[in-house]
Amino acid sequence: MQKAPGLPLTEAVLFGWQTVKSYPLFVIGTMLVSICVPWVIERGGDTFLDDGFPQVGIKIISVAVSATFALGLAKIYLRFRDGDRPVFENLFDGLAHFHKYLGAAIIAWVAILMGLILFVVPGIVFLIRLWFLAFVIVDTKAGPLDAIQQSWDISRGRTMELLGFFFLLIVLNVAGLICLGVGLLVTLPISGLALAHVYRNLKPRVAVETRAAA
C-alpha cells in the first residue's frame, strides 16, 4: 500500500499568516468580537444584576455565545481556505448549531480528561483526534456524535503529524503572548486559519458536497 503524503503543515501556517496580512482588520476584528462579547456578558451580569439573579444563567448565555462564535470563526476560516470571501455575518452562522458543538465538546472533554487522568497518552490522542469538531459541524451540519466520529476518522493515521502541529501552534501562541498578549490577536487567527487549511486537506470540499447531496 502506498503511504499517504504528509500534511502540508508549513504551508498551513503560511496560509494563516498570508490571510491575516491580507485582511488584518476583518480577521482581527472578528477575533476581538468573539473574545470581548462573552466577556462583556459575564462582566455585565456581575456588575448590573443583583445577587438574586441566578448567575448560572449568565454563565450559560456566555458559553452559548462563545460556542456560536467558535463555530462562526471556523466558518470564516474555512471560507478563506476554500477561496471565498467571508463576511462579518458569518460570525453568527453557528447560532443554529451551537448546541451540537456544546454537546460534542462536552463528550470530547470528558474523554480527554479521563484519558489524561488514567494514562495521559490516551488523553493527548483524544485531544488531537477530536481537534476538528467545530470545522466538521459548520462544514457538514453533523450532530455531536457524528461530528466526533468524522473528526476521529479524518485524523486516523495522522496523530503524530497533528501532535507536532499542535506543539508548533502552542509555540506560535506563546510568542504572541510574550508580546504583551496583543500578539495573540494575530497568532490565534493564524492558528485557526492553519487548522482550517489542514482540515480541508484531510476532508476535501468535493467530498463534503457529495455527502450533502447524497
pLDDT band at 148 (very low <50, low <70, confident <90, very high): very high
pLDDT of residue 52: 53
pLDDT of residue 213: 45
Reply yes or no on whether the pLDDT at 179 is more than 60: yes
Q: For residue 121, which amino acid is it?
A: V
Three-state secondary structure call for residue 141: coil
Reply yes or no on whether the pLDDT at 144 is more than 90: yes
pLDDT band at 134 (very low <50, low <70, confident <90, very high): very high
Q: For residue 131, which amino acid is it?
A: W
Q: Mean pLDDT over residues 160-166, rounded?
A: 94
pLDDT of residue 210: 47
The answer to whether 63 and 106 have CB atoms below 8 angstroms apart is no
pLDDT of residue 41: 85
Reply yes or no on whether the pLDDT at 154 is more than 80: yes
Tell me how many degrees the CA angle 51-52-54 measures, rounded to the nearest 5: 95
pTM of the predicted structure, to 2 decimals: 0.88
Give the model confidence (pLDDT) of 75-117 as tens digits: 999 999 999 999 999 999 999 999 999 999 999 999 999 998 8
pLDDT of residue 4: 61
pLDDT of residue 45: 67
pLDDT of residue 206: 52
Three-state secondary structure call for residue 74: helix
Reply yes or no on whether the pLDDT at 29 is more than 90: yes
Quote the cell numbers at residue 88. 462579518
- Report the alpha-carbon distance of residue 197 to residue 120 in Å, rounded: 28
Give the model confidence (pLDDT) of 33-77 as tens digits: 999 999 888 877 666 665 555 677 788 888 999 999 999 999 999
- Report the alpha-carbon distance of residue 55 to residue 4 in Å, rounded: 50
Reply yes or no on whether the pLDDT at 208 is more than 60: no
Mean pLDDT of the chain: 88
The rounded percent of the chain whose pLDDT value lies above 70 is 88
Q: For residue 133, which amino acid is it?
A: L
